Amino acid sequence: MDSVNSGYHSDLSDKDFERLSQFIYTNYGIKLPMNKKIMLQSRLKSRLKENNIPTFKEYCDFVLKGKGGEAEIINMIDVVSTNKTDFYREAIHFDFLKQHALPEMVVDQGANYIKVWSSACSSGEEPYTLTFVLSEFKEKYPDFDFSILGTDISTRILDKARTAIYPMERVDVVPLSEKKKYLLRGKDQENPQIRIIPELRAKTRYARLNLIDDSYNGIPKDFDLLFCRNVLIYFDRPTQEKVINKLCAHLRTGGYFFLGHSESISAMDVPLKQIKPTIFQKI
């Protein structure tokens, strides 16, 4: 489809915004009220240019009606989904692992292998923080081992997680002792970066998953720890409850479930009891 560059700067109409936002909500559970229209318009401009499509109306038709639009839907969701995360974000959860959950499971209950699911892993900072914590614990209990599954809806962000390369400033919060053991420094002085060491990258695997899918085929059913932090805020309350129940089906009884600080299961019918704020145990 030929176009003039200026066409890429056409505005997203209210009608086309409604078409896209309804499709995204129905298929991915992400709420986009009208006050997100400018944000959506800005993020999708690159997709119009990439596909050589001059107007948002034609882009909507391409994605929602055209046979060739199926592959573009994944790219659209990649740019629409928000992926903000940090190493040691909401540190209280990692303190709980060190001081309570890991000693309970490994020392008291005799577990020698722990499976962890980071269900909205973004670019990998959460799974790799978990590898730091679990590796530190493994130093004290050498017979103990672990694996981590990271899932996300964005293929683009999962590629970043697999690569495990981050700007140097992103790891400022990582303790110096852990930096020395678990991070490799790049040689580019002008653009300083680090990479997670191969031994920890090998402890993780990543897969694309839409949390509002009817079922999570291929996901194990016996995780010991499950992190679902700062993604439910994009869903409405009924969708949140459905997602939590589906996630809990993959968490063993007695396993721990972690939510983001702005999320709650209050008044929900889910198989969880609260241990601390945003920390729950499956019953």
Residue 159's pLDDT band (cuts 50, 70, 90): very high
* Residue 6 confidence (pLDDT): 44
How far is it, in rounded angstroms, from Cα 115 to Cα 215? 20
Beta bridge partners of 146: 114
pLDDT of residue 244: 96
Burial class (CB in 10 A: 0-12, 13-18, 19+), 255: buried
The predicted structure's pLDDT at residue 228: 95
Mean pLDDT, residues 154-175: 91
Residue 258 pLDDT > 70: yes
Residue 198, Cβ density class (10 Å: 0-12 exposed, 13-18 middle, ≥19 buried)? exposed
User: 3-class DSSP state for residue 251?
Assistant: strand
Chain segment 111-130, per-residue pLDDT in tens: 999 999 999 998 999 999 99
Encode pLDDT of 53-99 as tens digits.
888 988 888 888 866 667 788 788 877 776 667 899 899 999 999 99
Q: For the chain, which domains are there? A: 5-80 (1.10.155.10), 91-282 (3.40.50.150)
Cβ pair 61, 53 in contact under 8 A: no
Distance in Å from the first CA to the final CA of the chain:
56
| Percent above pLDDT 90 for the chain | 54
* Confidence category of residue 9, pLDDT binned at 50, 70, 90: low
Name the average pLDDT for the chain.
89
Is the distance from CB of 106 to CB of 134 less than 8 angstroms? Answer: no
Query: Taking the CB of residue 259, how many other CB atoms lie within 10 A of it?
Result: 26
Average pLDDT over residues 182-188: 89
- Quote the CA–CA distance of 92 and 4 in Å, as a whole number: 52
What was the pLDDT predicted at 68? 65
Q: Percentage of the chain with pLDDT > 70?
A: 94
Q: Is residue 182 within 8 Å of residue 189, measured between CB atoms? A: no
pTM of the predicted structure, to 2 decimals: 0.81
Dump the DSSP string for 68-121: GGHHHHHHHHHHHS-----TT-SHHHHHHIIIIIHIIIIIIS---EEEEEETT-
State the pLDDT at residue 71. 75
| Rg, Å, the chain Cα set | 21
